[in-house]
Structure 1
Amino acid sequence: MSKPCRIASVLLMSSLLSATALAREDAATQVQPLVPFASTEGLERLARTTAKPDFAPLANQFEAQATIAFCGPTTAAIVLNALRPSAIETPRDRSRLRPEDERYLPKSLELTVPRHTQESVIATGKKTRAQVFGEPSTVNGKVVRDGGYQLRQLDELLKAHALVTRLVIVDAQTAEADIRRDLIDNLNRPGDVVIVNYLRTAVGQAGGGHISPLAAYDAATDSVLILDVNPSHHPWVWMPVATLIRGMRTRDVTENRGYILVQTR
């Protein structure tokens, strides 16, 4: 083989090896597919796993978020209704009633039911309804527009409702093994709940930052069941733990996203 041919052959082999390495790297970092809960595979995962004591209480109290900005308070309402902390009185939200609703009913009849709602949760928090919808506020002398809830703001809201929490911000220093242990241990125990905050685009979905509770863990596929509170656009899904961690290890307004471990006192 002539020298030019040998050089061409070496260059071709080097190019092929580089392409193969890049393909392997892309495959390793590619977001794994999410499995819809309502699919045959999704239902089979729930049936076979034992790490699901939170599923029934959360599913029994589940509701969809009323607006695009309410994923945080909706999740808080579901968790509060599921855990029912005895240290706080369950509210009766009358915000959805109209004056004429009680016109023909006995005065002694109360139309509302004792239940935490998205509206009642917001009403008792530091963040106003207008701020949740993006009203500018002043923070450390700077005017900021901060719609929805950051994870730390939601943590403060849960604590104000007599819940015990442990907030974990998933940054570059947070070990994946520690995150995995926290999630799996919690999902194996009754009486406590995990709330996660992740970036949808980082897990293969369309949209921005999102908050929802976890309900189960399937060891065979190393995936968790997310009870997405925006089911009209994103139905409940089984998400690989590694994918969820990738979604949590993303930047929000002031710090990274993460998760909250919640229980009653």
Structure 2
Amino acid sequence: MTNNLFKSTQVLRSFKSAPTCAVSFYKRKLSDKLIPFSSEKGRELFRSSLKQQYMENYFSLAEQFHTQQEPAFCGLGSLSMILNALQCDPNQVWKGVWRYYDENLLMNCCVSGDQVLTKGLQMEQFWCLSVCSGLDVQLFRNSTIEQFRQHIIDSCKHQKFHIVVNFSRKALDQTGDGHFSPIGGYNPDEDMVLLLDVARFKYPSYWVSVEKLYEAMILIDKQTNNKRGYFTMRPSENASSMFYRL
């Protein structure tokens, strides 16, 4: 044991400079209209929402919170997070004896991997992949803000009903444009939602007002010339329960 300790010491001495965990700014900064989840105000909103039982969907999502693997994988990352949170079985063993969803398992239906890697997912492709994975999913492009808010409330009151939004980052003073991420909670006092941003290397999770997020969703996607929108997602009981709404 003494000999091993001596060797370890020699290896450490061979480093010209030991690596350090330097605290530096490497992410994008959130605008003042958004409240970081980990901030004092963000935690206050969390406690208030939890007390009022508007965080029922949060815990299963938090257990499976996923960072997208590639810059264009926000759609795949959000979908794999939802599928794992709902405990959907991919019926495929691919990591030892374990069966779980990952972006790589979602590129065998509706879209090619090369296309997603360069262009990301369009909303119809996200819907198609969700259906292929056994979800009851509805796409909403032209909802009113009242309908959107009600879906948020319904989702945040249940453990197995989730919402993924597709919005323009530009409307929230963020860099980039189209982005997918799940909603993880609602605060009725401030009318704000907790957005669990899957691009965790870029932005943290944050609270955003329903109004601001709605405005970011109804902007036109230049690739499709359609509005953006959101998806309601549940485990599917049968194929006839799946809808697509323009």
8 Å CA contact 1:52–1:217 kept in 2: the answer is yes
The answer to whether residue 124 in structure 2 is matched with residue 152 in structure 1 is yes
Number of positions where the alignment pairs a residue of Structure 1 with one of Structure 2 = 201
- Structure 2: distance between partners of 1:92 and 1:225: 33
8 Å CA contact 1:90–1:116 kept in 2: the answer is no
The answer to whether residue 99 in structure 2 is matched with residue 74 in structure 1 is no
The answer to whether residue 203 in structure 2 is matched with residue 234 in structure 1 is yes
The answer to whether residue 119 in structure 2 is matched with residue 119 in structure 1 is no
Instruction: Provide the secondary structure at the position in 1 that maps to 2:203.
Output: coil
Instruction: Provide the secondary structure at the position in 1 that maps to 2:170.
Output: helix
8 Å CA contact 1:76–1:158 kept in 2: the answer is yes
Instruction: Provide the secondary structure at the position in 2 that maps to 1:113.
Output: coil
Within 5 Å, which residues of 2 pair with 1:135-214?
147-170=119-142, 174-214=143-183
Instruction: Could you tell me which runs of 5 or more consecutive residues in structure 2 were left unpaired when the two chains were aligned.
Output: 1-30, 237-246
How far does residue 93 in structure 1 lie from its aligned partner after superposition?
A: 3.3
- Structure 2: distance between partners of 1:182 and 1:256: 18
8 Å CA contact 2:167–2:178 kept in 1: the answer is yes
- Structure 2: distance between partners of 1:228 and 1:90: 27
8 Å CA contact 1:92–1:116 kept in 2: the answer is no
Identity %: 28
8 Å CA contact 1:228–1:236 kept in 2: the answer is yes
Counterpart residue number, 1:65: 68
Moved over 6 A (4+): none
- Specify the structure having the higher radius of gyration (Cα): 1
Instruction: Provide the secondary structure at the position in 1 that maps to 2:197.
Output: coil
How far does residue 187 in structure 1 lie from its aligned partner after superposition?
A: 1.6
8 Å CA contact 1:79–1:193 kept in 2: the answer is yes
Instruction: Could you tell me which runs of 5 or more consecutive residues in structure 1 were left unpaired when the two chains were aligned.
Output: 1-30, 95-110, 135-146
Within 5 Å, which residues of 2 pair with 1:241-256?
241-252=210-221, 253-254=223-224, 255-256=226-227
Counterpart residue number, 1:217: 186
8 Å CA contact 1:91–1:116 kept in 2: the answer is no
Instruction: Letter of the 1:59 partner, please give it.
Output: A
Cα offsets for 1:154-203 (capped at 9, x unmatched):
01100101110111014xxx322122212222222221100000000112
How far does residue 232 in structure 1 lie from its aligned partner after superposition?
A: 1.4
8 Å CA contact 1:155–1:165 kept in 2: the answer is yes
- Structure 2: distance between partners of 1:127 and 1:89: 18
- Structure 2: distance between partners of 1:112 and 1:69: 29
Counterpart residue number, 2:40: 40
TM-score of the two chains, using structure 2 as the length reference: 0.78
Deviates more, 1:70-79 or 1:202-211: 202-211
